[in-house]
């Protein structure tokens, strides 16, 4: 980020459709060469932001600034941005070559220069020999590459991607993720990537922007957003966690003690700013809970006796539901290689203070796992 | 761009319809109340005489009755002839299917005067139909098939049959075959599955096809004129004569307003009916 | 399965009979046009092409054919321009009262032609454009524009609006995006609409007959009045020409654009 001019800035962008506020005062910066994801559930306004950046939707208020230049009022076709659509929107009446050449032709690039540029781009996305085909003759993954090539060949200042991988099957999606990331590293293009898939956002991004209800909930690198969610929504949306409500009982230098509603208390890391008596939400991720047979030795701060009430094997992990003495149930994910515990087996669960996420406020009263 | 300029793009079409359709048709209403004096022309004044004449004078009542009777019988005969054909075209897996559909469209696009002319040749005293009937010994004297109800019924049925078939194909195609199979599995015979499942599900098509054929029949001019001659009149030919032979525009306007009213009422009624039965006409 | 097979055959026989009924007058006219007799008779007595020669040698027929063709051409070009723009607006823009507008655009389809004819007869006399080609062409546009709108709207509905967005992001202005992307994709709909429009205009009697000025005569009106005076094989000959042209045009339209999708 440093002091350099952002490749793209969005300032206090607003858009409503009738009475519905789709985008509410959204501000963002993308550094040159950055891979920035807009992550959120459908209807959170992420695609609307993208369409306003592209110029396909006029904002009600706010600015879109491209490398220091205000382009809010610049017509779509003069913005020199790339956009990859969820449906790919390949021109069905043109060949792959013609599709990719379309943007260059609009820029008045001569035929002599056009041909090699298009072919180089097709090589780059590994579609070299398919230039004469029509889009309907290509597989989903190939169509996806044509869409990428078409958007990148004009060397756009920023590439916008609107859920580009959501129409691919799971295996192909994993493959395209890697390819997209490598393409971005190679070309150094600033990319704004809209997705509802949290894993996709975490894997690909330099930074993730989590959105909900037209607002930005949190911006940060994947690890930070995942480990230190700023709001209960972010905690729930990224990964699976167990949620509890409670009251801060003691805040010392060594840690924060929270008395959960219903009896138990947990120890969290030091959290300056929290005062005793304050209501908080507590989130503990499934995979941060260690599960062992009853009696296993440990030095963790949070340690409870539990009974296994559900177990399922899911390849990479074992999924458990365990019940504590007070009837409270928690979801636990243990590594797939670990020896499984049978249903009804007495067990111990434990986690470190650093694994406890504390969120001020307690708007959501639900105590069970999310 | 988005949302804008829609009005501008619509303007030419809307202007065309306002100036060359709605306004002229609307202007017929005032004309229909003006008295017409032979050898003088249309005078300033007000009369409802042309309307009362239409609903009291037996000459006009007979024409209106005949027009409606034709509408009804032509609708029924196109339905009877056309439903099996539409059913066949909707269900067949023949590779000729599209070309058979085109064969239904062909008479529709063929000049109306030409098609009617063919029926004159067929239905005349010494025409092919009478020749055939006499050769088969069905009749011994030529049957009168022109300038009467039978002639108009045959000619108009032929003219409007393609409309009925084309309107029916879609709704029949949209009936899921599973539903019929389900009825058969539940113990219905083919006949009762057809009557209780297929036919009711194609009701929206039957309704819109019938309304279309009825409306087109009572509006038809060319076929009734050529097959009915100047004496066997229907409403359209009456309007034609008022304007071009008798030059009584107010009377013709009143008749045109009545015909238009009947058409609009039917279309409106079918819309209401379709909405009430939850189907789309 | 015998009952099912019997039903299948009965249905086929019925369909064949109805097709025969549909084609009967067409076949009869075609046959009658080759008869050597000077009166209309089927089956024809002898074979001659002289009735075709008579039609093509008759300046009235030749003029009527030329006039009908030019009128149909003008009406088609006019209703294409108005109809494509209107369809685009109705499908791609949020137009207030769009449902009402499309009902209005389709109204001439079910409106009695004779009423349109007499209404325009009176109106044109009132505004002094009676007997003009422009007036006639406008009248024909009113009855042909619904066919264009129907076919083009059907075509537009099948096209992803994102394609035009994609073209614009790639540097095409609104009009360029329309002409390079949308227009080529709706070409079949436009062709079908144009064909419908041309034929509807070329065939029209109920509107034309009230509006023809001195020296103007369309082919169908000419045939219509000729039949009222008495039938002879030259009418069958000109009809046969129309049958052949319509058939060829329709077959070509089916081959090139899959015309059955637009009916």
Q: What is the CA radius of gyration of chain C?
A: 23
Question: C119–B27: do the CB atoms touch at under 8 Å?
Answer: yes
| Mean local confidence (pLDDT), A270-286 | 87
Residues 6+ apart with CB under 8 A from A72: A59, A62, A63, A64, A65
Calpha distance A95→A110 (Å, rounded): 19
Instruction: Quote the pLDDT of residue A11.
Output: 95
H or E element that contains A268: strand A265-268
Q: How many Å lie between the alpha carbon of A75 and the closest alpha carbon of chain B?
A: 9
Instruction: Tell me how close the Cα of B86 comes to any Cα of chain A, in angstroms.
Output: 33
CA dist., res. C257 & res. B42, Å (int): 52
Per-residue confidence (pLDDT) for residue B63, from 0 to 100: 97
Token pair listed for A201 = 């956002």
Q: 3-state SS string over B234-276?
A: CHHHHHHHHHHCCCCHHHHHHHHHHHHHHHHHHHHHHHHHHHH
Average pLDDT over residues A114-120: 94
pLDDT at A367 over 80: no
Give residues with Cβ within 8 angstroms of C158, minimum separation 6.
none
Query: Is the Cβ of A56 closer than 8 Å to some Cβ of chain B?
Result: yes
Between CA A40 and CA A58 the distance in angstroms is: 22
Q: Measured between CA atoms, how close is B7 to chain A, in angstroms?
A: 19
Judging contacts by C-beta atoms under 8 Å, the chain A residues touching residue B2 are: 56-58
- Write the residue in C165, C170, C173 that is nearest to A103 by C-beta: C170
Contact B240 C114 (CB under 8 A): yes
Q: Which residue of C has its CA nearest to B250?
A: C122
Dist. CA C201–CA C195, nearest whole Å:
10
Contact between C259 and B102 using a beta-carbon 8 Å cutoff: yes
Token pair recorded at residue B2 = 């988005």
Q: Is the pLDDT of residue C262 over 90?
A: no
Q: Would you state the pLDDT for residue A364?
A: 44
User: Do the chains contact at A57 and B1, CB–CB below 8 Å?
Assistant: no
C210 touches chain B (CB under 8 A): yes
pLDDT number for residue A297: 64
Q: Nearest Cα to A80, choosing from A141, A179, A158?
A: A158
State mean pLDDT over C233-252.
92
A65 in Cβ contact with A156 (< 8 Å): no
Pick the residue from chain B with its C-alpha nearest to A55.
B1
Of the pLDDT bands very low, low, confident and very high (cuts 50, 70, 90), residue A171 is confident
- Whether residue B3 and residue C93 make contact (CB cut-off 8 A), yes or no, is yes
pLDDT of residue A365: 38
The pLDDT-based confidence of A273 (bands split at 50, 70, 90) is: confident
Backbone φ and ψ for C134, nearest 5 degrees, come out as -60, -45
Give the predicted TM-score (pTM) of the model: 0.85
Instruction: Name the minimum distance, in Å, from the CA of B278 to any CA of chain A.
Output: 30
Q: What share of chain A is helix, strand, coil (3-state, %, to 5)?
A: 25, 35, 40
pLDDT of residue A366: 38
Alpha-carbon span B262 to B235, nearest angstrom: 11
Please, what is the end-to-end C-alpha distance for chain C in angstroms?
A: 35
Best of C159, C166, C189 to substitute, by most chain A Cβ atoms within 10 angstroms, is C166
Chain A contacts in chain C segment 62-91 (CB below 8 A): none
Q: Which residues contact A311 (CB under 8 A, 6 or more apart)?
A: A318, A319, A320, A340, A341, A342, A343
Which secondary structure element, helix H or strand E, spans residue A23, and what is its range? strand A20-30
**A77 interfaces chain B, CB cutoff of 8 Å:** no
pLDDT at A110 over 60: yes
A364 versus B92: the higher-pLDDT residue is B92
In this predicted structure, what is the pLDDT of residue C128? 93
Interchain CB distance below 8 Å, C21 and B81? yes
**Higher pLDDT pick, C231 / C76:** C76
> Residue A369: which pLDDT band, with cuts at 50, 70 and 90?
very low
In chain B, residues with a C-beta closer than 8 Å to the C-beta of C105 are 13, 17
Residue B235 and residue B217 in contact, taking contact as beta carbons nearer than 8 Å: no
Query: Do you find a cis peptide bond into A170, omega within 30 degrees of 0?
Result: no
Could you report the per-residue pLDDT of A19-55, keeping only the tens digit for each? 999 999 999 999 999 999 999 999 899 999 999 999 9
pLDDT digits (tens, 9 = 90+) for A45-104: 999 999 999 999 999 999 999 999 999 999 999 999 999 999 999 999 999 999 999 999
Q: Please tell me if residue A54 touches chain B, with a CB cutoff of 8 Å.
A: no
Check if B236 contacts C (Cβ < 8 Å). Answer: yes
CB nearest B13 (choices: C19, C82, C239): C82
pLDDT for res C193: 94
pLDDT in tens, C195-221: 999 999 999 999 999 999 988 999 999
Q: Which of A151-160, A258-267, C94-103 has the highest mean pLDDT?
A: A151-160
pLDDT in tens, B39-93: 888 888 899 999 999 999 999 999 999 999 999 999 999 999 999 999 999 999 8
pLDDT at B279: 46
Overall average pLDDT of the C57-77 stretch:
96
- How many C-beta atoms lie closer than 10 Å to residue B197's C-beta? 18
Residues A298, A302, A303, A306, CA torsion sign: negative
Beta bridge mates, A160: A83, A192
User: Block means of pLDDT (10 residues each) for chain B, length 281 residues?
Assistant: 65 94 96 91 91 95 97 98 95 90 92 93 89 89 92 96 95 89 87 89 92 96 94 96 94 97 92 70 35
Task: Compare C39 and B270 and report the one with higher pLDDT.
Answer: B270
Cβ atoms of A296 and A339 closer than 8 Å: no
């Amino acid at each position: 980020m440093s002091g350099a001019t952002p490749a793209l800035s969005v300032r206090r962008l607003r858009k409503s459709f009738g009475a519905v506020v789709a985008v509410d005062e959204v501000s963002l910066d993308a550094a040159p060469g950055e891979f920035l994801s807009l992550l959120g559930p459908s209807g959170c306004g992420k695609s609307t932001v993208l369409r306003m950046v592209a110029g396909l939707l006029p904002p009600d208020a706010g600015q879109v600034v491209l490398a220091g230049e205000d382009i809010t009022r610049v017509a779509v076709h003069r913005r020199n941005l790339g956009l990859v659509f969820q449906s790919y929107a390949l021109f069905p009446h043109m060949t792959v070559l013609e599709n990719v050449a379309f943007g260059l032709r609009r820029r008045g690039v001569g035929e002599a220069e056009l041909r090699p540029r298009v072919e180089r781009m097709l090589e780059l996305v590994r579609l070299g020999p398919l230039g004469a085909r029509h889009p309907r003759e290509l597989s989903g993954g190939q169509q996806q590459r044509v869409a990428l090539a078409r958007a990148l060949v004009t060397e756009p200042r920023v590439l916008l991607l609107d859920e580009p991988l959501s129409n691919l099957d799971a295996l192909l999606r994993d493959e395209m993720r890697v390819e997209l990331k490598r393409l971005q590293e190679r070309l150094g293009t600033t990319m704004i990537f809209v997705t509802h898939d949290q894993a996709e956002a975490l894997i690909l991004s330099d930074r993730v922007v989590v959105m909900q209800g037209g607002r930005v909930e949190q911006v940060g690198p994947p690890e930070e957003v995942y480990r230190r969610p700023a709001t209960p929504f972010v905690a729930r949306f990224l990964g699976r966690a167990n949620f509890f409500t409670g009251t801060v009982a003691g805040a010392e230098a060594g840690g924060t003690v929270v008395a959960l509603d219903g009896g138990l208390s947990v120890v969290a890391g030091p959290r300056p700013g929290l005062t005793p008596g304050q209501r908080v939400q507590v989130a503990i991720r499934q995979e941060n809970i260690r599960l062992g047979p009853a009696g296993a030795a440990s030095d963790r701060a949070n340690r409870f006796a539990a009974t296994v009430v559900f177990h399922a094997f899911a390849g990479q992990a074992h999924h458990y539901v365990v019940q504590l003495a007070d009837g409270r149930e928690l979801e636990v994910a243990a590594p797939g290689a670990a020896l499984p515990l049978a249903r009804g087996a007495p067990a111990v669960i434990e986690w470190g203070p650093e694994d406890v996420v504390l969120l001020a406020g307690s708007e959501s009263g639900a105590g069970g796992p999310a | 761009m988005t949302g804008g300029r829609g009005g501008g793009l619509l303007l030419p079409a809307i202007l065309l319809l306002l100036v060359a359709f709605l306004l002229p048709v609307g202007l017929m209403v005032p004309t229909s109340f003006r008295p017409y004096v032979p050898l003088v022309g249309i005078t300033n004044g007000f009369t409802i005489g042309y309307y009362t004449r239409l609903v009291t004078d037996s000459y006009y009542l007979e024409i209106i009755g005949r027009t409606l009777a034709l509408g009804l019988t032509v609708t029924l005969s196109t339905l009877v002839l056309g439903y099996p054909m539409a059913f066949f075209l909707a269900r067949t897996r023949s590779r000729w299917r599209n070309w058979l559909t085109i064969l239904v469209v062909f008479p529709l696009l063929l000049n109306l005067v030409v098609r009617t002319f063919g029926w004159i040749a067929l239905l005349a005293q010494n025409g092919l139909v009478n020749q055939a009937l006499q050769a088969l010994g069905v009749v011994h004297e030529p049957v009168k098939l022109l300038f009467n109800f039978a002639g108009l019924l045959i000619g108009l049925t032929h003219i409007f049959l393609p409309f009925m078939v084309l309107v029916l194909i879609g709704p029949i195609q949209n009936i899921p075959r599973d539903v019929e199979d389900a009825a058969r599995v539940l113990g219905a015979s083919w006949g009762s599955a057809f009557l209780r499942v297929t036919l009711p599900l194609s009701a929206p098509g039957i309704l819109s096809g019938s309304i279309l054929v009825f409306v087109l029949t009572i509006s038809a001019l060319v076929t009734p004129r050529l097959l009915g001659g100047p004496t066997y009149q229907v409403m359209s030919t009456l309007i034609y004569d008022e304007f071009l032979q008798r030059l009584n525009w107010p009377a013709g306007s009143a008749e045109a307003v009545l015909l238009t009213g009947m058409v609009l009422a039917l279309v409106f009624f079918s819309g209401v009916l379709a909405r009430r039965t939850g189907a789309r006409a | 399965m015998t009952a099912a097979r019997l039903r299948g055959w009965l249905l086929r026989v019925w369909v064949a009979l109805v097709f025969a009924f549909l084609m009967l007058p067409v076949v009869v006219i075609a046959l009658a046009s080759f008869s050597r007799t000077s009166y209309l008779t089927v089956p024809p007595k002898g074979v001659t092409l002289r009735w075709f020669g008579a039609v093509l040698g008759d300046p009235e027929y030749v003029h009527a054919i030329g006039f009908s063709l030019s009128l149909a051409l003008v009406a088609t070009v006019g209703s294409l321009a108005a109809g494509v723009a209107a369809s685009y607006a109705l499908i791609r823009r949020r137009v207030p009262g769009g449902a009402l507008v499309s009902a209005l655009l389709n109204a001439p389809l079910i409106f009695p032609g004779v009423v349109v004819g007499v209404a325009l007869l009176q109106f044109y006399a009132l505004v002094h454009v009676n007997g003009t080609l422009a007036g006639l062409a406008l009248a024909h546009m009113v009855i042909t524009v619904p066919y264009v709108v129907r076919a083009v709207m059907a075509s537009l509905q099948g096209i992803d609006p994102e394609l035009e967005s994609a073209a614009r992001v790639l540097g095409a202005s609104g009009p360029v995006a329309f002409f390079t992307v949308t227009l080529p994709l709706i070409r079949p709909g436009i062709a079908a609409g144009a064909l419908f429009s041309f034929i509807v205009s070329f065939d029209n009697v109920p509107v034309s007959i009230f509006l023809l000025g001195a020296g103007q005569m369309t082919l169908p009106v000419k045939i219509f009045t000729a039949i009222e005076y008495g039938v002879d094989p030259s009418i069958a000959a000109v009809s046969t020409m129309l049958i052949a042209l319509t058939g060829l045009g329709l077959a070509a339209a089916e081959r090139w654009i899959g015309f059955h999708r637009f009916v």
